[in-house]
Amino acid sequence: MNALGSLLAYANQPSLLLLALCASALPALISAIDILTTFRPADRALASTGAIATAAWLAASIVFVAI
């Protein structure tokens, strides 16, 4: 619901929309992946997914600063 509200509220402001969507969706997904990784330490695909998600969060943060 937060993502839908962000889309409606910030439709004309792309930089705020990017920040709102990234601040709501990515941390929750990265946290879930990190929790799963603690239960499956030998799963390299899951660890890689977590690393890629963290890199995506970093990239979104850098893009927001650049905008």
Could you count the other beta carbons within 10 Å of the beta carbon of residue 15?
Answer: 13
How many domains would you assign to the chain?
1
Q: Structure pTM?
A: 0.62
Tell me which residue range forms the domain holding 34. 2-66
- Kindly report the backbone phi and psi dihedral angles of residue 11, in degrees, each rounded to the nearest multiple of 5, phi listed first: -60, -30
Chain centroid, CA 37 distance in Å = 17
For the segment 16-27, the average pLDDT, to the nearest whole number, is: 76
- Local confidence band at 63 (pLDDT 50, 70, 90 cut-offs): confident
Cα–Cα–Cα angle for 13, 14, 16, rounded to 5 degrees: 70
In single-letter form, the type of residue at position 10 comes to Y
Helices (H), 1-67: 2-9, 14-39, 44-66
Task: Write down the pLDDT at residue 45.
Answer: 92
